Amino acid sequence: MNRLSILLIIMMSSVSSFADWEVNMPRGVSPTANAAYDLHMLIFYITVVIGIIVFGVMFYSIFHHRKSKGAKPASFHESTTVEIIWTVIPFVILVGMAVPATKTLIMMEDTRDSEITLKVTGYQWMWKYDYVEDNVSFFSKLDNKSNEARQLGSKIDVNKVDNYLLNVDNEVVLPTDTKVRILLTASDVIHAWWVPEITGKKDAIPGYINELWVDIKKPGVYRGQCTELCGKDHGFMPIVVRAVPRQEYVKWVSLNQKNRVADKSE
């Protein structure tokens, strides 16, 4: 009994120390990311059930209807009834998936009534952020430590670099519990802006302005990456969003507004 509990503790601790073995989509911190997660799990479970049934029948057949067990082949080779049934049932299941999916999609694409607007512009290979109403604007690119470590033959142990490849010099700061509209465009080639825990991705395309909205419910730091191949350093243009309570955000804006104005006058 004692030994068993020790074994269990070891197993539990080894599982937690291997937190890297993440196998699923992270749960979100915004309504859109949560809705995507729920839909993902719903469809996943439906496919698992279908898979178990279909493969179950198939393996039953493989084990029982084999020649080595003396199985004699039956002669049936069609049945209109059965074929209609297994055309209609999947169709009904699909309708069952399409209803929640469409509802979620309509919710995600509704960018009305946003309180602040963040314009994101993709460059090779960095992001530019403009807070349209608050007059703050800056570039954000891979932080220096990651950048040094990622060079071919750098001899730096990337495991020791803080948030390797997912850290930037200037973080995006957004208020929590606020509907933020994000406008996306690009200056050179197509990029895509993605922070899994707060929103699905959308492309930033030259000549286009795409829209997204987020409403972050939990303060914290959320990381993401460019997800549209944009040239040699596509893998090295991360996104870091720091979500802070409203008052803190207002403070951050006033501080940075001043700084940027001062920068310009230099």
Partner 1 sequence: MSTNIDHIKEEHHHQPSGLMRWITTTNHKDIGSLYLWFSLLMFFIGGFMALIIRAELFQPGLQLVVPGFFNQMTTMHALIMIFGALMPAFVGLANWQLPMMIGAPDMALPRLNNWSFWILPFAFAMLISTLFFESGGPAAGWTLYPPLSLQGGNSMPFVIFSLHLLGASSILGAINVIATILNMRAPGMTLMKMPIFVWTWLITAFLLIAAMPVLAGAITMLLTDRFYGTSFFTAAGGGDPVLFQHIFWFFGHPEVYILILPAFGIISTIIPAFSRKKLFGYDSMVYATASIALLSFIVWAHHMFTVGMPLAGEIFFMFTTMLIAVPTGVKVFNWVATMWKGSMTFETPMLFSLAFIILFTIGGFSGLMLAITPADFQYHDTYFVVAHFHYVLVPGAIFAVIAAVYYWLPKWTGKMYNETLGKVHFWMTTVFVNITFFPMHFVGLAGMPRRIPDYAVQFTDFNMIASVGAFGFGLSQLLFVYILFQTLRQPVTAADKSWEGAEGLEWTLPSPAPYHSFDTPPKVD
CB nearer to partner 1: pick between 137 and 227: 227
Out of 145, 189, 242, 248, name the contact with partner 1 by CB under 8 A.
189
Closest CB 221 distance from partner 1, rounded Å: 14
The answer to whether 266 contacts partner 1 (rule: CB under 8 A) is no
125-to-105, 208, 218, 236 alpha-carbon distances in Å: 30, 18, 29, 7
Q: Report angle CA 46, 40, 230 to the nearest 5 degrees.
A: 135
Supply the DSSP string of 82-126, one letter for each residue.
Answer: HHHHHHHHHHHHHHHHHHHHHHHHHHHT--TT-SEEEEEEEETTE
- Closest to 216 measured CA to CA, from 29, 76, 67: 29
Out of 2, 3, 5, 78, name the contact with partner 1 by CB under 8 A.
78
CB nearer to partner 1: pick between 218 and 246: 218
Residues of this chain, 24-53, that bind partner 1 according to CB under 8 A: 24-26, 32-33, 35-37, 39-40, 43-44, 47, 50-51
Asked if 185 and 121 touch (Cβ cutoff 8 Å), the reply is yes
**How is residue 208 annotated by DSSP?**
-
Residues of this chain, 50-69, that bind partner 1 according to CB under 8 A: 50-51, 54-55, 57-58, 61-62, 65-68
CB nearer to partner 1: pick between 5 and 14: 14
Closest CB 261 distance from partner 1, rounded Å: 31
Residues of this chain, 5-24, that bind partner 1 according to CB under 8 A: 18-24
Question: Which residue, chain included where needed, has tokens 């509907």?
Answer: 179
Residues of this chain, 89-148, that bind partner 1 according to CB under 8 A: 90-91, 94, 97-98, 101-102, 104-106, 108-109
Residues of this chain, 194-253, that bind partner 1 according to CB under 8 A: 194, 196, 199-203, 205-208, 210-211, 224-236
What is the rounded distance in angstroms from the CA atom of residue 169 to the CA atom of residue 255? 17
